[in-house]
Amino acid sequence: MNLPRLLLAIALILPSLASADENFLGYVRGAEPLPENVKELYQIVTARTDKGKGTYSAFDSKTELEYGVTDRFSVAGAVLAQSVHVSGLIVDGYLPQDNSSGFKPSGFEGAMKYNFLSPVIDPVGFSVYYSLTYSWLDRHSGQYKDTTTQEVEFLFQKYFFDAQLAWIGNLVTETTYAKRAHINGLDPNVEWPTIPEMEIGLKIGTGLSYRFIPSWFAGIETVYETEYETEVGQERWTWFAGPSIHYASQSWWTTLTYFPQIKGGGEKFEGQPDDFHLIEKTKQEVRLKVGFNF
């Protein structure tokens, strides 16, 4: 890019830099860093519904504060909460009994992000994101389950057409250690193993976000995810894809994403629809994100 075009691109992006690290998409994470000494508060709520049998709905909440230590390095901490409602559906090892609970604190997360290449200046932006999460509630059943997860994410981002279009790509590795708590009075015919287990996961995601009028962006994103578990090898795989809408001002932004499952495989429960994985996933998710800079 020659100097005039570079200056034009920077001028177009500068309004966004006041809220840099805004999330254009709901599930695919951008490589843009948070500026030095800038703080950003995120509230993320995800609704997960419909397993094709019985009644199932769950809500996940993540309240996160991120701080830009330098123009390239940021740290973040988050508090997690959730609610789960399941009835008429028993799945060995995953959904041991009907359960209905309001929002409860469920865990904590710490994260850091380092930007190696800037999406604004370099041909392709590149960052590495690391997170460590501890939770004491199972996000699928709502039962007590100690879970420690670490993720390493490789984040890519590139602007086109003088920053009117953004492409974002992710490659994520995940390792999880989990141990279910004993459930008193559980039906002895239902499996709920309490021995520790290890899981390794891989996620690949990509998406596009297009600014169609000032401050408004329309996006499309997709994520393929697979997981390998101690006892069963490849436990599951899923492919989700859906649209996002994003609004940004200098002080705050919001993103709404509808994310249906396109296809899935691996372990299944009796009576579930074919061509989906619905033990750990649902037929669709809806995610709302709001971020405030200060």
User: Residue 189 CB: number of other CB atoms within 10 A?
Assistant: 7
Domain containing 124 — which CATH number? 2.40.160.40
Give the number of domains in the chain: 1
Cross-strand partners of 149: 133, 176
Task: Look at residue 233 in the predicted model and tell me its pLDDT.
Answer: 77
- pLDDT at residue 234 above 80? yes
Alpha-helical runs (H) found in the chain: 3-17
Let me know: does 147 contact 135? Beta carbons within 8 Å: yes
Rounded percentage of the chain residues whose pLDDT exceeds 70: 92
Is the model more confident about 158 or about 12? Answer: 158
pLDDT interval class at 174 (50, 70, 90): very high
pLDDT interval class at 274 (50, 70, 90): confident
Q: Using one digit for the tens of pLDDT, what is the confidence trace for 7-47? A: 344 444 444 443 567 899 999 999 999 999 999 999 999 99
Let me know: does 223 contact 28? Beta carbons within 8 Å: yes
Let me know: does 47 contact 243? Beta carbons within 8 Å: no
Average pLDDT over residues 233-247: 94
User: Residue 6 CB: number of other CB atoms within 10 A?
Assistant: 12
CA distances from 58 to 73, 108, 149, 180, 276 (A): 33, 18, 20, 19, 18
Average pLDDT over residues 267-290: 93
**What HEC string does 82-144 produce?**
EEEEEECCCECCCECCCEECCCEEEEEEEEEEEEEECCCCCCCEEEEEEEEEEEEECCCCCCE
Task: Look at residue 22 in the predicted model and tell me its pLDDT.
Answer: 84
Task: Look at residue 20 in the predicted model and tell me its pLDDT.
Answer: 66
CA distance 214 to 207: 20
Is the four-CA dihedral 71, 157, 171, 206 of positive or negative sign?
positive
The tokens describing 21, both together, are 């690290």
Backbone torsions φ then ψ of 29, nearest 5 degrees: -90, 135
Task: Look at residue 35 in the predicted model and tell me its pLDDT.
Answer: 93
The parent domain of residue 254 ranges over 3-293
Task: Look at residue 8 in the predicted model and tell me its pLDDT.
Answer: 42
Backbone torsions φ then ψ of 11, nearest 5 degrees: -60, -40
User: Residue 272 CB: number of other CB atoms within 10 A?
Assistant: 16
